Amino acid sequence: MNALFDELSPHAAGLLRRRARPEWAEPTLATLVHEPFDHPDWLFEPKLDGQRCLIVKHGSRVRILTRNDKSLDETYPEIRAAVAEQVGADCVLDGEAVAFSGNTTSFARLQQRMQLADTAEVRSSDVTVYCYLFDVLHVAGHDTTRVPLRERKKLLARTVEFTDPLRWTPHENRSGQQHHRRACAAGWEGTLAKDATAAYQHGRSRSWMKFKCVSEQELVVGGFTDPTGSRPALGALLVGYHENGRFAYAGKVGTGFTEPTLRELRAELDRLERADSPFAEEVAESGAHWVEPGTVVSIAFTEWTEDGKLRHPTYRGLRRDKDPSAVTRESR
């Protein structure tokens, strides 16, 4: 067997399966939970404020894919080059592309790179991007998804050299509450808890849990209002989410925009305009423009109100890596 597997326990080695490397695999998605906890069988990681990446390496060919199987090859060429140089074995890796603002990851900063696919524009960008890797799904001809997470971490450490822009995702054992308090005090978005004994589960799972320092939610734009005063392009976004076959209204978002962002959003939404409201309930916004619910945005807010609306929402950025039809309200 490949020397990469030498440090695995006999039990973990027995769970390896020789299988063809997949071209893509649905990543694990964490379940939102509100109370951090301590547990000896769980690992605790920082919640990175970036873009989820699945990296597939086959010989000298490296592909970077979003969580919904869209190519990021031209967006993050430095990550592709680093994987080609630092990873010897064919593999499928799970990680997150990030950019920093100060000492914390910033989705707003990363947005300046996420929108680029032109080689010249990418090369001239002043946004430095890193990829934090935290899991391995396949390596050296073997499916590793049945191997417990703690043992997969051993494999990941032996598979990648971890020189910038590739970074190891640090984790703590046992003390999830303390880890979360420190992360929030440092200005991070939140933390993750992962069952160290669990197999890799595709899709939403309770073996991975996320705890947020501030509330954040992906929502879908269903309309917008006209600007007032000196504001350009649009006034506020009217956003919603899918629930039991209906498109529910979550409220109006009117802060967090730059002027270029307002113009970019208006150009995109004008292409999606429709005559009637897509929301299941009546939305009392005079002069609203309605659009097909096809644009996903990230919104920060303080809490949900009793009638299911966002309190103090702020726009954070576009999420082109999210399927609009799969956006639901996150809850316990």
Phi/psi of residue 110, each to 5°?
A: -60, -30
Number of CB atoms found within 10 A of residue 103's CB: 8
> pLDDT at position 119, please?
86
pTM metric for this prediction: 0.78
DSSP-assigned letter for residue 34? S
Q: What Cα–Cα distance (Å) separates residue 59 from each residue in 14, 62, 86, 119?
A: 26, 8, 12, 23
In contact, 129 and 97? CB cutoff 8 Å: yes
Which pLDDT tens digits describe the chain residue by residue (332 residues)? 688 999 999 999 999 999 999 999 999 999 998 789 999 999 999 999 999 999 999 999 999 999 999 999 999 999 999 999 999 999 999 999 999 989 999 888 998 898 888 889 999 999 999 999 999 999 999 999 999 999 999 999 999 999 999 999 999 998 999 999 999 888 888 999 999 999 999 999 999 999 988 788 999 999 999 998 888 999 999 999 999 999 999 999 999 998 999 999 999 999 999 999 999 999 988 889 999 999 999 998 978 888 889 988 999 999 988 899 999 998 64
Residues tagged active-site: 47
User: In this structure, what token pair is assigned to residue 41?
Assistant: 């069988």
Please state, in angstroms and rounded to a whole number, the distance separating the CA atoms of residues 190 and 202.
22
SS3 state at 120: helix
> pLDDT at position 1, please?
63
In contact, 181 and 35? CB cutoff 8 Å: no
* Residue reference for tokens 């309930």: 281
SS3 state at 237: strand
Residues in the chain: 332
What are the chain's domains? 30-47+170-213 (3.30.1490.70), 49-168 (3.30.470.30), 215-326 (2.40.50.140)
Please state, in angstroms and rounded to a whole number, the distance separating the CA atoms of residues 154 and 33.
27
Exposed e or buried b for every residue in 187-210, given b needs 16+ CB within 10 A?
ebbbbbbbbbebbbbeeebebbbb
Please state, in angstroms and rounded to a whole number, the distance separating the CA atoms of residues 126 and 124.
6
Within the chain, residue ranges assigned H as helices are 10-13, 77-86, 107-114, 119-124, 149-159, 176-185, 259-270
Which residue(s) pair with 71 in the sheet?
A: 65
* Residue reference for tokens 């949900």: 304
